[in-house]
Amino acid sequence: MSSEEPIELYAKRIPIYPRSVKGRFRRLKWGILALAYGVYFLLPWMRWERPVGPDQAVLWDLPGRRFYLFDLIVHPQDIFWLAWLLAIAAFLLFFVTGIAGRVFCGYFCFQTLWTDVYIAIERLVQGERPARIRLAKQPWNGEKVTKLGLTHLLWLGVAFLTGFSFTMYWGNAPDLAVEFFTGQAPFAAYGATFFLMTTTYVMAGLAREQVCTYMCPYSRFQSAMFDKDTLIVSYDAERGEGTAGRSKVAKGLKTREERQAKGVGDCIDCGYCVQVCPAGIDIRNGMQYQCIHCGLCIDACDSIMDKMEWPRGLVRYTSENALEGNKTRVLKLKTVGYGILLAILTGTLVWNVASQAPYDASARQVRQPLYVQLSDGRIRNSYELKANNKTTKPMTIDITIEGLPGAEVDTGRIKHLHVEPEKSARLLVQVIAPKPAGAGPTQRDFVFVLTPTDREDIKPIVVESRFHTP
């Protein structure tokens, strides 16, 4: 670099133009993509019959403080399920990563899924890898403007659909969609759509593999879970390089026998595995942190090996141990431990969800004043009772107390607490009891027994509380 040349301010991204490939892993990836997109884009439109509440199968109802998941209704007080779910997701990631490497990155991560779609669009409009490289190099003319413009337009379209579908989960989709396009939707709907549209476009269209290499923390800490038994996408260097290294197919190096006789490996250095890589790396250089284990280089190499009529698997899923000629051990303390933890966590969550209390209640004592002396000398304490009906039918609750001799309950003009389905109700309950013999303040524990009178399917619940006397 001469001193006249302007200094580069930052390292530019080296553009990657992945070539398309056909094969098992590509088919698997398309399948997962179709499934994921089917679920993501169609789920908000699915209807679901409920006795009360919206008829949308999956609805995150923030104003109503309810998450509707088919027949499961998640209330704010169930939010610890989310923590549980995240813990399960984390352990599932550890478990799977320990056994089979970055499966999540390669097949399920939405960065990978969306980038795949964006690359497909790019190929559809601009053609295969050489055509794209040529287009990128040529000066700005009509063709370049049209093709690049169309690509970005389609990208923006997918990005918009992505953001729009996300928004549809947070309201009744058919209504919200109409409101959205007639300009009547809440600002949050436009904001969320625009935000997700922008991030999708930037991440899947422009940033792509940089998200995995520079931004994503998971991609970095997954490598920490690898060991010598972990399945990784790997180049069999011993077979590929032989003793004299790789070589192109040339005169005298056409058949395997000829090559092996000269110590040349099976890799014909066609570069197909490098060209298909969405991360832009050469798998033959060994395991690299950029590698998302998508398996496309395996498809590429397998297709070449098939053409050469040589056995497949020069690039394959294998473990370091297997490459060194040892056995791959799957059952070991780490994987079994993660597996057991995962089973326990999942079991507890399922049990917790299944045994969700149909209703709950709390009693908060009025503390100002803690007690009141009445004209007949008895003492009164007041409690704010709150009952929460989580079922889809109304219930009427009868309130009695136990454990306080001679006490009576006064609920004013509301004799029974009626709670609408999916609603809660509050009631001021006054408990009046004679002052126990003997001087001095006392605190006595007692319980409210709340019995739903019109629902045989629901057991009474007991709420503990305390009675104070001066």
Partner 1 sequence: MSNATDKQTGAVQTTGHAWDGDLQEYNNPLPRWWVWTFYATVIFAIVYWILYPAWPIGTSYTKGIGNTITFTVDQTGEETTTHWNTRALLAHDMEYSDGAVKQQQYLNEIIGASYDEILSDPDKSAFMRSYAKGLFGDNCAACHGSGGTGVVGLFPNLVDDAWLWGGSTARIEETLRQGRMGFMPGFGPTFTEAQLDATAAYVLSMSGHEGGDAEQVAMGQKIFKGETGGCYYCHTSEGTGLESVGSANLTDSIWTVADVNGAEGYEAKHAAVKHVIENGISRHMPAWEGRLSDGEIKLLTAYVYSLSGGQ
The residues binding partner 1 (CB under 8 A) are: 1-3, 6-11, 366, 368-369, 372-377, 380, 382, 410, 412-414, 417-418, 425-428, 430
Tokens 């884009």, located at residue: 41
| Sequence-distant (≥ 6) Cβ neighbours of residue 368 within 8 angstroms | none
In the complex with partner 1, which residue's Cβ is closer, 271 or 470? 470
Q: How far apart are CA 138 and CA 134, in angstroms?
A: 6
Q: How far is the CB of 202 from partner 1 (least distance, A)?
A: 12
In the complex with partner 1, which residue's Cβ is closer, 152 or 418? 418
Tokens 């709390």, located at residue: 362
Q: How far is the CB of 56 from partner 1 (least distance, A)?
A: 22
CB atoms within 10 A of CB 275: 20
Q: How far is the CB of 186 from partner 1 (least distance, A)?
A: 10
Q: How far is the CB of 287 from partner 1 (least distance, A)?
A: 26
In the complex with partner 1, which residue's Cβ is closer, 2 or 141? 2
In the complex with partner 1, which residue's Cβ is closer, 61 or 116? 61
Q: How far is the CB of 241 from partner 1 (least distance, A)?
A: 32
Tell me the two tokens of residue 422. Answer: 């999916």
Strand segments (E) across 268-336: 315-318
Of 19, 451, 64, 459, residue with least CA distance to 271:
19
In the complex with partner 1, which residue's Cβ is closer, 39 or 374? 374
Q: How far is the CB of 7 from partner 1 (least distance, A)?
A: 6
Q: How far is the CB of 423 from partner 1 (least distance, A)?
A: 9
In the complex with partner 1, which residue's Cβ is closer, 51 or 412? 412
As to burial, measured by CB atoms within 10 angstroms (0-12 exposed, 13-18 middle, 19+ buried), residue 172 is: middle
Q: How far is the CB of 341 from partner 1 (least distance, A)?
A: 42
| Sequence-distant (≥ 6) Cβ neighbours of residue 221 within 8 angstroms | none
In the complex with partner 1, which residue's Cβ is closer, 16 or 372? 372
Say what the alpha-carbon torsion angle 147, 152, 154, 158 is, to the nearest 10 degrees. 160
Tokens 């890799």, located at residue: 267
Contact at 8 Å (CB) between 280 and 292? no
Cα distances (angstroms) measured from residue 275 to each of 27, 138, 163, 249, 296? 18, 20, 31, 18, 10
In the complex with partner 1, which residue's Cβ is closer, 84 or 383? 383
Of 149, 145, 163, 144, residue with least CA distance to 121:
149
